[in-house]
Amino acid sequence: MEQQSSKSWVKILLTLGVTVGVAFFATNYFLTTYHVSSKYSLEEISKEMNRNAPKMIDDATRLDSTTFAESTLNYHYTLIAIDRDSALVDYEALTAEMKQKAQENLDKNPVMSDYRENKITLHYFFNDNKQRPIFDYSVKHHAKQK
């Protein structure tokens, strides 16, 4: 039984390690295609992204849909291998790490320039395999003060 628990823990850690990268790469993938500008509104971007949803991002993460509200683009993900009640995960630490990577991506990646210029907030929602909320976070570009 100890060995089974150990294997489950390793699987969960690997799944969550991959998930940390997902927010970064999925955002890049989708936002490279759709730029916020006078040609595309968040509504149009969300509709276009939803045409391909749900979409498996990797073996453990599915992008279910996107939504928008004012200047926020919301990403709704499912971690298909995670049950929030049985997973031994420090969600607070995971959320902090994912938020940091997403913020760095928004602040520094050239692909994200339209989102910075248009002051778009990106909000990520993660559910478990039973569609119960696990965690969420938002990132918004903050211009460097001189």
51-106: per-residue pLDDT in tens?
A: 999 999 888 899 999 999 989 999 999 999 888 888 788 888 889 988 999 999 99
Mean local confidence (pLDDT), 16-41: 55
Question: What band does 115 get if pLDDT is binned at 50, 70 and 90?
Answer: confident
Q: How far apart are CA 63 and CA 76, in angstroms?
A: 6
Task: Could you please state the CATH topology (level 3) that the domain comprising 2-137 is classified under.
Answer: GMP Synthetase; Chain A, domain 3 (3.30.300)
Q: Give residue 25's pLDDT.
A: 53
Q: How confident is the model at residue 126 (pLDDT cuts 50, 70, 90)?
A: very high
The conformation of residue 110, written as its DSSP 8-state character, comes to G
What's the token pair of residue 19? 């998930």
Q: Does the pLDDT of residue 107 top 50, yes or no? A: yes
- Give the span between the Cα atoms of 78 and 35, in whole angstroms: 25
Contact 115, 31 (CB under 8 A): yes
Scanning the structure block, which residue is given the tokens 């050239």?
Answer: 110
Q: In the numeric block, which tokens belong to residue 37?
A: 């500008």
Task: Identify the pLDDT of residue 146.
Answer: 43
Residues 3-24: what's their mean pLDDT?
Answer: 52
- Six-digit token string for 55: 């979409």
What percent of the chain shows pLDDT beyond 90?
Answer: 38
Q: Are strands 121-127 and 61-69 parallel, antiparallel or unpaired?
A: unpaired
Q: What is the per-residue pLDDT for 90? A: 83
Positions of E strands within 8-129: 55-56, 61-69, 72-79, 121-127
- The kind and range of the H/E element at 12 are helix 2-33
For the segment 125-134, the average pLDDT, to the nearest whole number, is 96
What pLDDT was estimated at residue 138? Answer: 96
User: β-strand 72-79 against 121-127: which pairing, if any?
Assistant: parallel
Distance CA 99, CA 95 (A): 6
Confidence grade of residue 130 (pLDDT, cut at 50, 70, 90): very high
